[in-house]
Amino acid sequence: MLLGGAHTVERRMAPLSKRLAGVILPHEHFGSHLDDKGMTTDDDLEKRNFQHAGETLAEVWRDMKIDNYDVSAGIDSRRQQAGSSRTKSGVV
């Protein structure tokens, strides 16, 4: 069976997914930004918590190599400042 380009991407992404198995992202590292109904009560706290979760992901991925290339991952703070964390994650 011949594999197309999409399968190549899937094979290269598989190690990233595998490394995340069992990782628990700290969604309330700096405290809860949600009320009892799950609605955001503090936008700044939500962004700080989201950034910390993104940094956790980046830390896991930076320790990897794909096809013998180092993985570069981090938070793009310019995107964080540009808008809401709900629309522009800032994770690159």
- Is the pLDDT assigned to residue 28 strictly greater than 90? no
CA–CA dist 45, 40 (Å, integer)? 9
How much is the pLDDT for 26?
75
How much is the pLDDT for 91?
46
CA 70 to chain centre: 17
Q: What is the mean pLDDT of residues 45-64?
A: 88
- Is the pLDDT assigned to residue 37 strictly greater than 90? yes
Q: pLDDT digits over 12-21, tens only?
A: 778 888 888 8
Per cent of the chain over pLDDT 70 is 78
